[in-house]
Amino acid sequence: MTADNPVFAAAALALFLGCSWAMLRLSNMELPKGRLTSIDGLRGFLAASVFIHHSLIWRGYVLTGVWQAPDSNFYNQLGQSSVGLFFMITGFLFTRRLLEGNVDWLRLYAGRFARLAFAPTRRAALAAIACLLAALLLFHSAFRLPPLIFLTAFFAIVAGGNTLFGVLAWRPSRLLGEISFSVYLLHGLLLFALFRLILPAPQALSDTQHWLVAGGAIPLLVVVCLTTFRWVERRRSASRPSPSASR
């Protein structure tokens, strides 16, 4: 198999979810309630996809010395589409926060759209998956109008509460979502240390060996990111005064 075979991406994603499941069993961590579960679960998949995207770029870099996007539509979109969806999530949540205390027009019209479009339904889930696959497989870049239309349709259905047959509501998915910011920030440092400082000759690895090494780093990444989430991110959030307390 070549390095850009989708099997490697699927295996890496399964490993992320497996590690997340194991951390939940070991830590008995409580996940927040009262939030948009579908969005929380989506974050974890996006962060894992960016890791997979950069792992393949590192394969090309150690062989050629050139840092460039993968030729594969699928692997390139794992990075670009994920970043685009991260921006959509940020814009969506910040807009909701800006509207707090007044009429929440975003929630009002999103709710109406969700009703008109059967957003939480199985049919909507299939439509969302079809839109996502179209963006991932048919286009090399996410930052063009056609793939953005597909990604926007996918995001609208998820933001409307669709959990894609329960996958986004699954506790391991939601835990990955909780630590997604740490994964997004720290995975590059881990890959750099792995392929530039630790391995003596990464260019000598076969494609399969390269992915075995990258996959072997995933449990460490999940543990480190869970630690930074619990002792840095969550504590910092807890120490911030609430809006009502500051009035």
pLDDT-based confidence at 120, cuts 50/70/90? confident
Confirm if 41 and 177 have CB atoms less than 8 A apart: yes
Per-residue pLDDT at 245: 41
User: What is the average per-residue pLDDT within 140-164?
Assistant: 94
Q: Is residue 207 part of a domain?
A: yes
Residue 29 region, left (φ>0) first, then alpha (ψ -120 to 50), else beta? Answer: beta
Are the CB atoms for 80 and 91 separated by under 8 Å?
no
How many other CB atoms are there within 10 angstroms of residue 246's CB atom? 7
Q: How far is 191 from 58, CA to CA, in rounded Å?
A: 8
Packed helices 37-64 and 145-159: angle between N→C axes, nearest 10 degrees: 140
Task: Give a yes or no: residue 113 inside a domain.
Answer: yes
Count of domains observed in the chain:
1
pLDDT in tens, 93-113: 877 666 665 555 555 565 555
The verdict on residue 155 lying in a domain is yes
Q: What is the spatial distance between Cα 173 and Cα 47, in angstroms, rounded to a whole number? A: 11
Is 48 within a domain?
yes
- Report pLDDT for 242: 47
- How confident is the model at residue 230, as a pLDDT? 84
Residue 194 lies in a domain: yes
Asked if residue 122 is part of any domain, the answer here is yes
Examine residue 170 and state whether it is found in any structural domain, yes or no. Answer: yes
Q: Region 228-239: what's the mean pLDDT?
A: 72
Q: How far apart are CA 127 and CA 157, in angstroms?
A: 9
For the chain, give the longest Cα–Cα distance.
61
How far is residue 97's CA from residue 80's CA, in Å, rounded to a whole number? 26
> CB atoms < 10 A from the CB of 236, how many?
9
Tell me if 14 is assigned to some domain.
no
For the chain, how big is the Rg over CA atoms in Å? 19
The predicted pLDDT at position 160 comes to 87
Q: Are the CB atoms for 40 and 171 separated by under 8 Å? A: no
Which residue is associated with the tokens 């590059």? Answer: 188
Instruction: Give residue-wise pLDDT tens across range 181-193.
Output: 999 999 999 999 9
More confident: 144 or 103: 144
Average of per-residue pLDDT across 40-65: 96
Residue 168's domain spans which residues? 39-235
Please count the other Cβ atoms lying within 10 Å of the Cβ belonging to residue 222. 24
Q: Which two tokens stand for residue 200?
A: 């003596």
Q: pTM of the prediction?
A: 0.88
* Tokens linked to 182: 């740490």
Percentage of the chain lying above the pLDDT 70 cut? 85
Please report the sign of the dihedral spanned by the C-alpha atoms of residue 34, residue 35, residue 36, residue 42: negative
